[in-house]
Structure 1
């Protein structure tokens, strides 16, 4: 039996204003860590970037958040709300964001992220921030005016056991699991032959909106998928690499059709933490009518060659372990190996 709100049509649910149980008022984590709390705005980007850097330097995750990525927390493709805790010297020591993508229609998703300065941990700050985020997410669901199932989402990297415990104590449960994979580009890259009329071409700006529409169709039936608008499709492209991105076209009719696509990013700030250089596959999709025709393999191997030509040591990507298209098996067949994992924890509303 699905969790409340999970998979249920909006018409079968009580009004979101009832289900969300949004608090009438929501106060900042007043006593947590002796910090002074206020809402974060775009004027706080530099302070936020410094805090994120201190957190990542201490925790040493296999990635680093660039200043441009910090600025993207505030992008206009999401409804967002943020809270920060400042010490007596005016240094930001803790933060929490809640973000809901404006294009969400059939499931509202409140993505929660945040962190606590290593020097301010073990004082209840993390738990207080999560409590604030959950309450704020419930309020924001109602504020959208959209009637739909809703979920509060936190992604937890492998090994973050303390965070997992905090979430579980507050009613979160793990719903999906993901794995990062890499493929050694020093190994031979296989040749993939496509059917007549199918070809892989470089990404161009002229093809981009057709790729967006293809993405919405390719992932429309998958768990947690929401359509991208023209505006949301353009967000989060700070590290997008056009020369590493490709489109599979079917020219069997007068008008070429997008059969599949692969979008890549270059995250140089991650490489020292990873211990290797890589081209990263952000998105790969094949539309249903072209599946089983080697389109994904052709896209992946074309990208591998582009990464290798630019001196990358590995090709990287991540995948939902329950992907219904069998993607994990395909990646393994092409030589990708698991490097680490993560889980999506949610409260379903």
Structure 2
């Protein structure tokens, strides 16, 4: 087993607690802790053990997770922190993202501060390795958790982004799409449509402030090669009379924690074709395809940059907001 690059994290929890790395046998215990927090916050439990397992698989390894336990004949899990480090190309900064949770019965005992301190330490270390003077510590606050929002605010965190999750039950078939005159549609053809789809995607999202332009090779790597859920038959292209792609919907069957749902990853229309109903037609087509596949629901995320017009479009198709997440962050100095 390779050495733990963050071993010092296990030596400094507040008394009388102890810290350790998890094993895969801890997935259920962590899911129970998260469920207890959700139950206290909103009364609704959404997290399942499989959600925890999927998140951990997306980390570099279990050395990116810290468990905090209260000692006893059978140690009680009272806190969990999950960490990831990346280079944010938009901010041109090193970012350490932390997702932490303390059991409701153990709040106010220094555990949350400890988990945040670990993120700060990682951020300073990562920035130093890059030769940078500052780094960003970033986390998310889920709707209903006003206490956490206030806690992060007192520690200098400011909101920088908001995300909405919207869902729709597919118990009833959606209405059929009405395509604008002159539009033809087809499914994505691997090996033939990459350039056309990339060109349309770049044009459709060029005016979104958070969009980071990708080269063709980078886009293919991100949207197709590295996405295990990419399915050409769930990727719809809308073409104008000249055969140019002017709208597209990248979708997948199954999402984290909800394999029975369809997910709309990207829905875009190039500027010249906006305002003609093409976006709605692409969305309704995706919903109908999901139902034909036997999926029982559909979901998507909306960024705060497009919350106004996008939410109105999705609500007209029947989707409803089910969750809001605020992204908050703080600048950390290496000095």
State the TM-score, normalized to the length of structure 1.
0.70
Partner in structure 2 of residue 17 of structure 1: none
The answer to whether structure 1 residue 163 and structure 2 residue 148 are counterparts is yes
**Maintained 8 Å contact 2:248/2:266:** no
The answer to whether structure 1 residue 31 and structure 2 residue 13 are counterparts is yes
Within 5 Å, give how 1:149-188 maps onto structure 2.
Answer: 151-185=136-170, 186=172, 188=174
Partner in structure 1 of residue 125 of structure 2: 139
253 and 334 in structure 1: CA distance in 2 versus 1, 3 angstrom threshold: same
Q: Give distance in 1, aligned partners of 2:17 and 2:75.
A: 10
Q: Give distance in 1, aligned partners of 2:184 and 2:331.
A: 42
CA apart distance, 1:305: 0.6
CA apart distance, 1:324: 7.0
- Out of 35, 41, 60, the residue aligned to residue 57 of structure 1 is 35
Partner in structure 1 of residue 252 of structure 2: 264
Q: Give distance in 2, aligned partners of 1:169 and 1:218.
A: 39
- Out of 66, 69, 80, the residue aligned to residue 55 of structure 2 is 69
Within 5 Å, give how 1:1-349 maps onto structure 2.
Answer: 30-32=12-14, 34-37=16-19, 40=21, 44=22, 46-47=24-25, 49-58=27-36, 59=38, 60-64=44-48, 65=51, 67-74=53-60, 81-85=64-68, 94-102=79-87, 104=89, 106-108=91-93, 109-117=95-103, 120-144=106-130, 151-185=136-170, 186=172, 188-196=174-182, 198-206=183-191, 209-210=194-195, 211=197, 215=201, 218-227=204-213, 229=218, 231-233=221-223, 237=227, 240=229, 242=231, 245-250=234-239, 252-253=241-242, 256-257=244-245, 259-267=247-255, 269-270=257-258, 278-323=261-306, 326-347=309-330
269 and 177 in structure 1: CA distance in 2 versus 1, 3 angstrom threshold: closer
State the TM-score, normalized to the length of structure 2.
0.72
Matched residue SS, 2:138: strand
Q: Give distance in 2, aligned partners of 1:287 and 1:55.
A: 45
Matched residue SS, 1:194: coil
Q: Give distance in 2, aligned partners of 1:92 and 1:209.
A: 48
CA apart distance, 1:133: 1.2
CA deviation string 1:90-118 (max 9, x = no partner): 88653323324457255434332133356
CA deviation string 1:19-45 (max 9, x = no partner): xxxxxxx8667132533346x5xxx45
**Maintained 8 Å contact 1:96/1:112:** yes
Q: Structure 1 residues 171-180 or 221-230, which shifts more?
A: 221-230
Q: How many equivalent residue pairs? A: 307
**Maintained 8 Å contact 1:37/1:83:** yes
CA deviation string 1:227-274 (max 9, x = no partner): 563555469846x362772232436557x5463232234138448xxx
67 and 237 in structure 1: CA distance in 2 versus 1, 3 angstrom threshold: farther
CA apart distance, 1:303: 1.1
CA deviation string 1:19-73 (max 9, x = no partner): xxxxxxx8667132533346x5xxx451553343222332254343152332112
**Maintained 8 Å contact 1:98/1:110:** yes
Q: Give distance in 1, aligned partners of 2:88 and 2:114.
A: 29
